[in-house]
């Protein structure tokens, strides 16, 4: 039986690269995002190049029950999702008191609620088959509080904590959950998050979307629980454990705060 990977946020950045990697490794695909044109073009390319069956679902994950609609569509099409990649997400830069409430709410809905709901919907069938893999895209932001991107950082802390908790429940079931925690990477993220996020990007050398996606794919296939790409990110994720919270807060504030 051919394996199928469902990838959210497949129209750009990591998700776009994940689609290419899974197709090259013999997977059929379900690709979802809002940008129909980009998804269709990618689907055509992967059908042509890899002979993959690609099912496109155009969906705004910030809308209530978008995840349920995606699940229903795959059920109706008779697709067994063997790998779920919860990748879609975005950030927003600014003093929390000045942020746009609607954008913050959408961020929480996409970064947290849709990820939770897709996991809740696809996990039972993975459990029944004793086979399945889930890749949740967290971030280095998961390890620290993030002044000026407070909700984004908190959303990624949720993703990491939630993913690790599930691995305890799933021990011995044949189903694995991997949380990947990338540092800054060259994708559409910075543009969506706003100009202030550029400071963080400017302070560090961004990785490429392709190398981050390849690293994440490797971690997923090995069933790693928490995966941090890049030596510097790894060192700082370990360093965070030994630093007092006050020092951590001060470092991120310096990196990200207003001039």
Of 73 and 131, the one with the shorter C-beta distance to ligand NAP is 73
152 is catalytic: yes
The catalytic residue among 16, 27, 152, 217 is 152
Nearest residue to ligand NAP by CB is 13
Q: How far is the CB of 96 from ligand NAP (least distance, A)?
A: 18
Of 123 and 140, the one with the shorter C-beta distance to ligand NAP is 140
Q: Which of residues 15-74 bind ligand NAP (CB under 6 A)?
A: 15, 33-35, 60-62
Give the angle subtended at the CA of 100 by the CAs of 94 and 102, to the nearest 5°. 135
Of 53 and 60, the one with the shorter C-beta distance to ligand NAP is 60
Report the distance separating Cα 151 and Cα 159, nearest Å: 12
Q: How far is the CB of 203 from ligand NAP (least distance, A)?
A: 12
Of 173 and 192, the one with the shorter C-beta distance to ligand NAP is 192
Q: Give every CB contact of residue 115 below 8 A, 6+ residues apart in sequence.
A: 86, 89, 136, 159, 162
Q: Cβ-count burial of 116 within 10 angstroms (0-12 exposed, 13-18 middle, 19+ buried)?
A: middle
Q: How far is the CB of 47 from ligand NAP (least distance, A)?
A: 19
Of 3 and 210, the one with the shorter C-beta distance to ligand NAP is 210
Of 46-54, 121-129, 186-194, 221-229, which segment contacts ligand NAP by CB under 6 A?
Answer: 186-194
Residue 230 touches ligand NAP, criterion: CB under 6 A: no
Q: Which of 4, 5, 14, 147 binds ligand NAP (CB under 6 A)?
A: 14
Q: How many CB atoms lie within 10 A of CB 19?
A: 29
| Structural tokens at position 149 | 């991107």
Total of residues contacting ligand NAP (CB under 6 A): 27
Q: Which of 21, 43, 81, 137 binds ligand NAP (CB under 6 A)?
A: 137
Report the distance separating Cα 227 and Cα 218, nearest Å: 10
Contact 255, 199 (CB under 8 A): yes
Residue 256 touches ligand NAP, criterion: CB under 6 A: no
- Look-up of token digits 């809308």: 63
- Residues lying near ligand NAP in the complex (CB under 6 A): 9-15, 33-35, 60-62, 87-90, 110, 137, 139, 182, 184-185, 187-189, 192
So which residues are the catalytic ones?
A: 152
């Amino acid at each position: 039986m051919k394996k199928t990977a469902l990838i959210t946020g497949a129209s750009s950045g990591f998700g776009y690269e994940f689609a290419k990697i899974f197709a090259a490794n013999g997977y059929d695909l379900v690709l979802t995002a809002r940008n129909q044109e980009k998804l269709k073009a990618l689907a055509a390319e992967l059908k042509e190049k890899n002979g993959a069956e690609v099912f496109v679902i155009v969906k705004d994950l910030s809308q209530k029950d978008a995840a349920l609609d995606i699940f229903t569509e795959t059920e109706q099409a008779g697709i067994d999702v063997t790998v779920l990649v919860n990748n879609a997400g975005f950030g927003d830069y600014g003093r929390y008191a000045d942020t746009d409430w609607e954008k913050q709410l959408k961020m929480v809905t996409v970064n947290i609620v849709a990820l939770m709901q897709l996991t809740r919907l696809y996990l039972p069938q993975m459990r029944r088959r004793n086979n399945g893999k889930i890749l949740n895209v967290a971030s280095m932001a998961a390890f620290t509080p993030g002044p000026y991107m407070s909700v984004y950082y908190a959303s990624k802390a949720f993703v990491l904590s939630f993913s690790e908790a599930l691995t305890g429940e799933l021990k011995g079931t044949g189903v694995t959950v991997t949380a990947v925690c990338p540092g800054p990477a060259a994708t559409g993220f910075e543009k969506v998050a706003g100009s202030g996020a550029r400071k963080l990007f400017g302070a560090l050398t961004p990785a490429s979307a392709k190398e981050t996606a390849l690293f994440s794919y490797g971690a997923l296939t090995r069933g790693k629980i928490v995966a941090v790409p890049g030596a510097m990110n790894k060192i700082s994720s370990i360093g965070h454990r030994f630093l007092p919270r006050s020092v951590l807060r001060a470092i991120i504030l310096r990196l990200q705060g207003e001039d």
